[in-house]
Structure 1
Amino acid sequence: MYYLGLDIGSSSIKAALVEVATGKSMGVVQEPEQEMGMFAQKNGWAEQKPEDWWLHICKAITRLKKQNNISRTQIKGIGISYQMHGLVLVDKAGTPLRKSIIWCDSRAVEIGNKAFHEIGEETCATSLLNSPANFTASKLKWVKDNEPEIYKKIYKFMLPGDYVAYRFSNTINTTISGLSEGIFWDFKNDTVANFLLEHYGIDKGLVPDIVETFGLQSVVDAKGEAESGIDAGTPIFYRAGDQPNNALSLNVFNPGEVAATGGTSGVFYAVTDNLSSKESTRVNNFAHVNYKKSTPRIGKLLNINGAGIQYRWLLNNLAVSSYEDMNTLASNIKVGADGVCLIPFGNGAERMLNNKEIGTRLVNLNLNNHHKGHICRAALEGIAFSFVYGMEILKSDGIKPKVIRAGNDNLFRSEIFANTVATLIEQEIEIYNTTGAIGAARAAGLHKGDFESFGKAITENDHVMTFMPFKDKAPYLEAYQNWKNELELVLGKENRE
């Protein structure tokens, strides 16, 4: 018997099967094999058709069943992970009224910033744990202001994972964790953030019913069976946004546990039991998957836009053939890259730098002495230093890291990168070979409440290696301070301008 896990990203859908008894992964498929497209009617906009997500999900399930030679009745539960902060609007028939405004769409920035000032920083920090910013609630306000005819037809708003669950079950509901990621949750009163809805003039009736993150949320109906190939009556047991789900996939549930991601962008997602939001403009705070008012678990998310994309740019533009070649070149250069510093923030505005857009900077390059090996080393160190800088922000917001766990993705495959982060943060980094889809599939089993067995399945099946901090920190501290000095010069110049 198996659990099905789905991970609905903005570039693709991934589907995974795991054994119910052991949590062992049986396989993962991706649809489409090439990236999904986005609609961008204007600069800064990003939309996708929710119906396309469903189409790709159904194709992925068909492939997964065929590859593993299983029938629909052998799937005993479904877990769903999804791209965060998206907005899906449906009418009473459940038909989408417009394309989904997805996470990377920036049209609602000014709406959120205005609300932050009008409602008040203190209220937002203590009740929402965030600025309304460019999150789902602000996107819904944009629709109300700019597409009033569509707004009048709305029956419910949903997050992307809510819509997928609806297509399986014909049941509309959501979770506290999901509402918090849309900035619809009032942590102070442990209820829907009615004061924000009132400020935006949004009808409270548009909020879906709330169900537990782990438990029987809904079941596949006859139409869902006909379209997806999953047996009617199969329960949906779990749903969470991609970053909380990534943390869950790495067995990160408790205060002091930190999940790290080193892909195109970088992420630290640190769990705490503290509702403090000192850094609410630089760090996002969401209800983690195991949040309860009696035992609050908050996921503090610090994002670094300029991460793996910087290294990929070098791969595409230096005379090198692979990341392995780049890592080899970099390994022949000493810590500190002989003074060469690379500031990697060339992927748009950086929230942790107070939304400044400072770009990528390569400094201290000596054309007589330095070559592409120095640039590769400086790039890996520069990205690692940005993670360390981010951890300093999280520590200032009350995080005390006890363990860092990361997926076996591009940046963490580099010993230079991982050793630099581990040494400067003075924390072991455990590497696991898992994915969001596998984590979502395993999480379907958590309706039973057995978190110990869940963690054991990850440890026994997925652990790859552990990076230990080096005892001799001195060269790393010197290199980091040099990099930080260069960054502060850039930030100082930005402030003066």
Structure 2
Amino acid sequence: MLLLGIDVGTSSIKVSVVDAETQKAVVSAQYPETESQIKSLKPGWAEQSPEMWWEHVQQAILKANASGAYQPRDIGSIGIAYQMHGLVVVDRGQNVLRDSIIWCDSRAVEIGNNAFRKIGEERSLSRLLNSPGNFTASKLAWVKENEPELFSRIDKVMLPGDFIAMRLTGEATISASALSEGILWDFQDDTISKDVLECYGFSSELFPPVKPVFAEHGYVTEAIAAKLSLRAGIPVTYKSGDQPNNALSLNVLQPGEVAATAGTSGVIYGVSDKLTYDPQSRVNTFAHVNYAGEQKRVGVLLCINGTGILNRWVRNNMAPGVSYKTIDSQGKEVPVGADGLRILPFGNGAERMLNNKLIGAHLLNVDFNLHTQAHIFRAEQEGIAFAFRYGLDIMRENGMNPSVIRAGKANLFQSPLFCEAFVNSTNVPVELYDNDGSVGAAIGAGIGVKAFASESEAFTNQRAIQLIEPGMSGVYEEIYQDWKTLLLRKLAE
């Protein structure tokens, strides 16, 4: 059986067609080749058009089809991964009412903080496992408060992956995992949170029917099938946020297993069987892809908004036309610690691990007679690694102590300089895999359609391609402590 995986990223859409028997991609395609626009109408705001995602999904599928590597009509199931926390609202005709307020938008921070106090901090943490914070429910509350006429026309609220599934099938569904990432799921009652609905004045009818992550979420319509050369009636059998999906793609499904990514944002995601929460909600707990019934599998997520986006910003503004590989090699020529140059990588919205503070990015201790472009290249990657260490220490406070971290060899984890800084800053080995979000979504579709006898069978052919172990932890520890002192100084301002 062939499985189609769709990954709705912030920068682009990627699709993969996977052979269920080998668990390998037959072909992968990305659209567009350049990074998609994020609209920022005001400081701290971030929006994207859902219809842009849908157009790009179609173009990516057609691009994969054009490879001639498979017969599109042989695809038996579809899985979708997507950027988490985005708000999509449609009317009764399934027309999009406004651009999506996406994950790195900071406008709803105070709305969420007020809800935290109104619901009660202890009740919020024990039932929602999070503060309402700057998540999807609070973004919807912002729309209700600031765009009341538009809010009155909303028929259904969903996450980005739910929207793409709806465009494929004509049906709207949602999962406990998706609702939990919007801080709309009551983990004690296993239902949509009445506390959040009452606090924000939402009707439960705004939300589509709730189904498991691995379930039939609709079937490809004849019109869409004809447009994309697919077979009508293909089921969508998996939908997941990108970080739970990344964990799935790395076979991180059981308590104690940990995954990481370092793309536009940086994430460490660990699985637990305890309904745990951080008292300050600096790291967040969501229902994992295999959360169901008595099996309480949750994902504890550290998210750092300002990671790969800093790496891209440095290249675009300080070394236009220079490859990431060249940036990496030049940075490695500079001593560890970049001769005192420090970078705080927090320039992409409010950071949850910093108590939702918006401190911006900072280039510190610049010496015009000493520091060069290469120093900036090293300092920015070390600064990102130190941000991971700072967040991992918060996870350790909450009982997550990984002995190894699994990551795909992609984005910053392709950089030897970053990998060196990451393992030595955290003092945790990293296993690298040849994984991909769209491949993970396809594997998820296979689990959902029961192409595999079990979840574990879906990963029988998976092998680590590289193990990176700490070797200079003492050297990095001293530099990290200096970086942390500068961070705490900024937070105190």
* Percent of pairs with identical residues: 48
Residue range with higher mean Cα deviation, 258-267 or 480-489: 480-489
Once residues 39 and 331 of structure 2 are traced to their aligned partners in structure 1, the CA distance between those partners, rounded to angstroms, is 39
Amino acid at match of 1:359: G
Once residues 375 and 44 of structure 1 are traced to their aligned partners in structure 2, the CA distance between those partners, rounded to angstroms, is 25
Specify whether residues 474 and 52 from structure 1 end up closer, same or farther in structure 2 by C-alpha distance, changes over 3 A only: closer
Once residues 10 and 413 of structure 1 are traced to their aligned partners in structure 2, the CA distance between those partners, rounded to angstroms, is 19
Residue range with higher mean Cα deviation, 368-377 or 58-67: 368-377
Q: Aligned-pair distance for 1:430?
A: 0.9
Once residues 207 and 355 of structure 1 are traced to their aligned partners in structure 2, the CA distance between those partners, rounded to angstroms, is 27
- Counterpart contact for 1:215–1:446, Cα < 8 Å: no
Q: Which residue of 1 aligns with 2:282?
A: 282
- Counterpart contact for 1:57–1:228, Cα < 8 Å: no
Specify whether residues 417 and 294 from structure 1 end up closer, same or farther in structure 2 by C-alpha distance, changes over 3 A only: same
Once residues 53 and 376 of structure 1 are traced to their aligned partners in structure 2, the CA distance between those partners, rounded to angstroms, is 32
Q: How does 1:462-481 map to 2 (within 5 A)?
A: 463-470=464-471, 473-481=473-481
Once residues 209 and 335 of structure 2 are traced to their aligned partners in structure 1, the CA distance between those partners, rounded to angstroms, is 57
Once residues 470 and 19 of structure 2 are traced to their aligned partners in structure 1, the CA distance between those partners, rounded to angstroms, is 35
1:439 aligns with 2:440: yes
Q: Aligned-pair distance for 1:369?
A: 4.6
Q: Which residue of 1 aligns with 2:72?
A: 72
Amino acid at match of 1:271: V
Once residues 361 and 278 of structure 1 are traced to their aligned partners in structure 2, the CA distance between those partners, rounded to angstroms, is 27
Q: Which residue of 2 aligns with 1:29?
A: 29
TM-score (norm 1): 0.91
Residue range with higher mean Cα deviation, 121-130 or 275-284: 275-284
Q: Which residue of 2 aligns with 1:427?
A: 428
Q: Aligned-pair distance for 1:289?
A: 0.6
1:456 aligns with 2:457: no
* Partner secondary structure for residue 465 of structure 2: strand
Once residues 251 and 365 of structure 1 are traced to their aligned partners in structure 2, the CA distance between those partners, rounded to angstroms, is 43
Q: Aligned-pair distance for 1:279?
A: 4.2
Once residues 208 and 59 of structure 1 are traced to their aligned partners in structure 2, the CA distance between those partners, rounded to angstroms, is 27
- Counterpart contact for 1:17–1:441, Cα < 8 Å: yes
Amino acid at match of 2:151: Y
Residue range with higher mean Cα deviation, 321-330 or 253-262: 321-330
In the alignment, structure 1 segments of 5+ residues that lack a partner are none
Once residues 36 and 317 of structure 1 are traced to their aligned partners in structure 2, the CA distance between those partners, rounded to angstroms, is 18
Q: Which residue of 2 aligns with 1:341?
A: 342
Once residues 124 and 424 of structure 1 are traced to their aligned partners in structure 2, the CA distance between those partners, rounded to angstroms, is 33
Q: Which residue of 1 aligns with 2:330?
A: 329
Once residues 275 and 296 of structure 2 are traced to their aligned partners in structure 1, the CA distance between those partners, rounded to angstroms, is 8
- Counterpart contact for 1:255–1:272, Cα < 8 Å: yes
**Per-residue deviation, residues 113-156 of structure 1 (Å, max 9, x unmatched):** 21111111111111111111222212222333333333333332
- Counterpart contact for 2:44–2:349, Cα < 8 Å: no
Q: Aligned-pair distance for 1:61?
A: 1.6
Q: Which residue of 1 aligns with 2:119?
A: 119
Once residues 377 and 32 of structure 2 are traced to their aligned partners in structure 1, the CA distance between those partners, rounded to angstroms, is 32
1:109 aligns with 2:113: no
- Counterpart contact for 1:77–1:235, Cα < 8 Å: yes
Once residues 267 and 38 of structure 2 are traced to their aligned partners in structure 1, the CA distance between those partners, rounded to angstroms, is 23
Amino acid at match of 2:454: D
Once residues 93 and 318 of structure 2 are traced to their aligned partners in structure 1, the CA distance between those partners, rounded to angstroms, is 53
Residue range with higher mean Cα deviation, 436-445 or 297-306: 297-306
Q: How does 1:10-159 map to 2 (within 5 A)?
A: 10-159=10-159
Once residues 318 and 396 of structure 1 are traced to their aligned partners in structure 2, the CA distance between those partners, rounded to angstroms, is 37
- Counterpart contact for 2:346–2:359, Cα < 8 Å: yes
Amino acid at match of 1:17: V
Specify whether residues 406 and 475 from structure 1 end up closer, same or farther in structure 2 by C-alpha distance, changes over 3 A only: same
Amino acid at match of 2:336: V
* Partner secondary structure for residue 178 of structure 2: helix
Q: Aligned-pair distance for 1:180?
A: 0.7
Q: Aligned-pair distance for 1:258?
A: 1.6
Specify whether residues 139 and 369 from structure 1 end up closer, same or farther in structure 2 by C-alpha distance, changes over 3 A only: closer
1:413 aligns with 2:417: no
**Per-residue deviation, residues 400-443 of structure 1 (Å, max 9, x unmatched):** 21321112223222223212322343322011222211110111
Residue range with higher mean Cα deviation, 273-282 or 36-45: 36-45
Q: Aligned-pair distance for 1:270?
A: 1.7
Q: Which residue of 2 aligns with 1:228?
A: 228
Q: Which residue of 1 aligns with 2:244?
A: 244
Specify whether residues 221 and 478 from structure 1 end up closer, same or farther in structure 2 by C-alpha distance, changes over 3 A only: same
**Per-residue deviation, residues 230-278 of structure 1 (Å, max 9, x unmatched):** 2112111110011111221222112222221122321111222221212
Specify whether residues 308 and 53 from structure 1 end up closer, same or farther in structure 2 by C-alpha distance, changes over 3 A only: closer
TM-score (norm 2): 0.92
Q: Aligned-pair distance for 1:20?
A: 1.8
1:174 aligns with 2:178: no
Q: Aligned-pair distance for 1:317?
A: 4.7
- Counterpart contact for 2:284–2:300, Cα < 8 Å: yes
Q: Aligned-pair distance for 1:185?
A: 0.3
Residue range with higher mean Cα deviation, 405-414 or 439-448: 405-414
Once residues 238 and 153 of structure 1 are traced to their aligned partners in structure 2, the CA distance between those partners, rounded to angstroms, is 29
- Counterpart contact for 1:129–1:280, Cα < 8 Å: no
- Counterpart contact for 2:104–2:305, Cα < 8 Å: no
Amino acid at match of 1:354: N
- Counterpart contact for 2:212–2:292, Cα < 8 Å: no
Specify whether residues 107 and 346 from structure 1 end up closer, same or farther in structure 2 by C-alpha distance, changes over 3 A only: closer
Q: Which residue of 1 aligns with 2:353?
A: 352
Amino acid at match of 1:193: S
Specify whether residues 60 and 422 from structure 1 end up closer, same or farther in structure 2 by C-alpha distance, changes over 3 A only: same
Once residues 368 and 87 of structure 1 are traced to their aligned partners in structure 2, the CA distance between those partners, rounded to angstroms, is 48
Once residues 86 and 161 of structure 1 are traced to their aligned partners in structure 2, the CA distance between those partners, rounded to angstroms, is 9
